[in-house]
Structure 1
Amino acid sequence: MSDRVSVLLADDDELTRTGLRALLTGEPDIDVVGEAADGAEVLGLVKELRPDVVLMDVRMPLLDGIAATRLLRSELADPPKVVVITTFGHDEYVYEALRAGAAGFLLKRSKAAQIAHALRLVAAGDTVLFPAAVRQMAARRPMPLAGPGAVELTEREADVLRLMAAGLSNAEIAERAYVTIETVKTHVGNVLAKLGAANRTHAVVIAYESGFVSPGEG
């Protein structure tokens, strides 16, 4: 991946899209390559523009961000990362988007620097996760899924998953576990593969819903 991050904006509110474009245009390494006025337009634009990240509103009239995220994953072998953007951090729509495979979420009131930093993280394969918010959303949705208890994680992989659920980055996990970042990346990749998770955030959601991590922890 290049050092630049290409972004597709998807929001039914033109003023919001204009504001996001204006905020991101000032970032030297971020390119807004297109805009979608509804989730129904996202797949076609992604095929045409090949963005690294889709910054996606969760509530849109024709096709919402949840369904659009699922569509990208089902139709594309290598879909872009999705970051959902919302007004309320504990929105049920946000949780469903994370379950659908979104890499994380942002609040619409976030500052430009926060949004840009999140896009860079996600494009690089990391995550945008607010552990406390995910815990609260998971606590309201105690829905058992096939998760860590149904697969064979090694002791190290299980430890890495717990640290991911706590919101630690690869670098922070490496420091905590006294291993290299490359080793952490290998463990994370193994966890995602074994859980059938789209990304780190999806793996954390599975960990909560399977009971491997308790929503009451932390």
Structure 2
Amino acid sequence: MPIRVLIADDQAMVRAGFRSVLESQPDIDVVAEAADGVEAVALARQHRPDVCLFDIRMPRQDGLHATRLLMGPQASHPAKIVIVTTYDTDEYVYEALESGATGFLLKDSGPTLLLEAVRAAASGEAMVSPAVTVRLLKHMTRRPNTAQWKKAGLTERELDVIELVARGKTNPEIAAELHLSLSTVKTHLESIKLKISTRNRVEIAAWAWKNGVVD
């Protein structure tokens, strides 16, 4: 079945451009478009898309608030949301990820990264534009908090995996660097998510930088 996508942006030309790129692919189908955040939330609840693409600045309700509504504890079907915006300020990126967004993409990233972000979100992975990833996460750095590591019950190998995730490594790259099988890496990631209460790779990376796993 194709990946079902909702596009929310207040500019009709942007929505049309995204639709054109996405529907050029046989495995992606745009099921709805919204021109503001209120409409985006309503359509997401109605259509239950696999992936939502939300702009930040939209009338009536911005994309960040819409994300919080769809990812909150009362959400019966939490969405996989990728923020696609012109604005890459650290505050926006951090708030998007804290609100539960699966990814953060700049509008000028190009069609290839847009498609990669949609497919990554649909498969439970996350993508943040390379232009902002390292800068964002470094701003989250605090002094090493080994008490948090111990409290979470993380193993040394799990900390190794967390560090590589925070540095933007893919599962195959982590497997190669740590001399592990791909299935073992995936098992470690599932264990890590449970132990530190995160939902995806972006949140794992944010946790790593916050707690000084990487410097």
Q: TM-score range by the shorter chain?
A: 0.7 to 0.9
Aligned length: 212
Match of 1:67 in 2: 65
State percent identity of aligned pairs.
43
Match of 1:106 in 2: 105
Match of 2:3 in 1: 5
Contact preservation (8 Å) 1:135, 1:208: no
- Paired with 1:139 and 1:164, the residues of 2 have a C-alpha distance of 14
* Structure 2 residue identity aligned to 1:120: R
**Residue pairs, 1:37-186, within 5 angstroms:** 37-74=35-72, 75-130=74-129, 133-140=132-139, 148=149, 150-186=151-187
Deviation at 1:130, TM superposition (A): 4.5
Structure 2 unaligned blocks of 5 or more: none
- Paired with 1:149 and 1:136, the residues of 2 have a C-alpha distance of 27
Contact preservation (8 Å) 1:7, 1:33: yes
- Paired with 2:29 and 2:104, the residues of 1 have a C-alpha distance of 19
Deviation at 1:62, TM superposition (A): 2.2
RMSD: 2.3
Distance change in 2, residues 1:156/1:117 (3 Å): same
- Paired with 2:77 and 2:159, the residues of 1 have a C-alpha distance of 27
Contact preservation (8 Å) 2:4, 2:51: yes
Contact preservation (8 Å) 1:129, 1:167: no
Structure 1 unaligned blocks of 5 or more: none
SS state at 1:59 partner: coil
Deviation at 1:125, TM superposition (A): 1.8
- Paired with 1:39 and 1:143, the residues of 2 have a C-alpha distance of 33
Contact preservation (8 Å) 1:148, 1:207: no
Contact preservation (8 Å) 1:95, 1:134: no
- Can you list the C-alpha shifts for 1:136-157, whole angstroms capped at 9, x where unaligned? 2344456789954642211111
Deviation at 1:204, TM superposition (A): 0.9
TM-score (norm 2): 0.87
- Paired with 1:147 and 1:10, the residues of 2 have a C-alpha distance of 38
TM-score (norm 1): 0.86
- Paired with 1:199 and 1:147, the residues of 2 have a C-alpha distance of 19
SS state at 1:32 partner: strand
